[in-house]
Structure 1
């Protein structure tokens, strides 16, 4: 569905197909358009250049292609499922070979967020957005503010936060045009979620070691980490001080220098081949695939990256190879858990965030148990458990969302 906002003979014209949104509205600045109830106009010129194209994607609440010629904005906002609460997910700023590649990324990530939110019982749904750029250097304040306006038009049906290519400082700029953001770097907000994501992955590693060896001791265990972003930096510190033998790789050599004395450095293409206890993907998704899976010499995979499996069938391949897989949407939920507490009436509480993130340990052990009992992959077990929680309404938000900024 193509939505064009334009001014014509002092009337607001909404050009759309015959589909009518139920209980949906769009808010842009002080302008409100509610298809069912009323139409009124104010500051409409701000949005004359936005085009929202609603894509028909089965199984998704709403997926929009958003463009603004004046600001060169090309974005995708994907709201996968709001059964348990409002769709929330990070804003990824990245280059793609084509639009379909960007769309696939947004769809996969938002679906993963739905399962992540369900497993963590944070009372939120799954969403994700992607800002497509020709070069990451094209990111600028005008583009970010334009995206903020686009988010605002959706009137809280999607809440954004930081992600790959989009820093907390970038989110601060987006915030200038919309309140529907979390993870801002100030005292009333939860800030950068990376340290909580890392803590959750650390708990996942402990649970995985417990499953493998009957003990969660990290001392002397070989841990191979792919990608040295913000999450990996915090995670490496936890693992180092608990006595792990670290193997690391990254395409950026400057990032490797920081840990040169604390870890063994290998080339990016060799990280899969390392004999280790746990392989920890902390970079891009889709890295467990037909090409890499036969190279793995680890006993388990447990990392921070989203959508680590290129296809769900690869979880079955890991199972057949006796490689234990920790479902990524369970393990990397710490960041989501952290920002979710920012939306409570009482405001953000880091202690509550940490305590809930600690539960990733027991959740993962439960998933391993379900997988064993039913002779299914751990990924299938986690999806089934997440779907059960959604159907039963477990963790469904019962209170309003509060934005403390």
Structure 2
């Protein structure tokens, strides 16, 4: 049997001329479930998590999956069973974690716009910590907690003004971003938090962005946060945990970010050198756990030659794969069953009525109508950002475990979409 793994994705490979996710043939899954179809490798997700667990071996550390990357219930259940906590940013995400069997005591609630109703629900179920992102939020959370006879555990998210060298839309740690408390205001804000009767200060948090592919921004942010911990504790406010966020990138276009265990070996060396090695640590990886585990399978509908460009029109669209339209993001696109012969350069586009509905520019492919293509690295920020634009149903999702393929989510029907609407 011939076996050829794809770069950076050891659990997705060609076996005897057929693209497979673990032991399942992608073409067989497409025939059974139709397209567009998301297929995920369980082994890939657990291997990505294991790299973080290896990096933290022997340390007091908690890994909280940043579930905005992919909030499908079966994926949440997988990470809960593997010992993860969860980083949430809405009341809806809280309910998803609970439905998947996650422990409320291992939930961190981030986000700049928590409502009073979301705060109350989180306090009712007993989450681990609120990552607070503004001074006014501290006052509101204290008021809500006090009205319930509770004390809310809080960590304040600090904006360290470190450039992660990534896309502006996913950079979160610069002065111009909406997230967190400014570096300069941190100590006074902690003093205010400590004075509020409805709050208990338990930690400090930072998150500088997403799809980070070098170590330097993490080291810079860590230095700034550790300086702040010293200043806050000098003011008489103990810090129980330090949360360094997430943001580690994945391989989309040949870039090779540091492995999670290598990254944390360097970061922990700095922590040890500065005397913080025994602190309780938290991190919030998202994309790096799920991104390379998923593919989106799509059928070629039409090949349309043009004077300036050739178009490959597929049945997946910007509502299934929003990242190219939103971020000009690159996803590798490969044939499910490659054929020999000359290739043609195509714009790979979807059927949505928008010029921005493209999946890939200038892709060299040898394909015919009816062929299947796989859009790689589609496990993060695809299904979780999917929409019903053009009244298109969300795709089905399948989880592959070895040779077994389990349907995680049924394809959404038009009737599903109209369920809550009324003719008035």
TM-score (norm 2): 0.28
In terms of fraction of residues, the more helix-rich structure is 1
Greater relative CO (CA pairs within 8 A, separation 6+): 2
TM-score (norm 1): 0.29
In terms of fraction of residues, the more strand-rich structure is 2
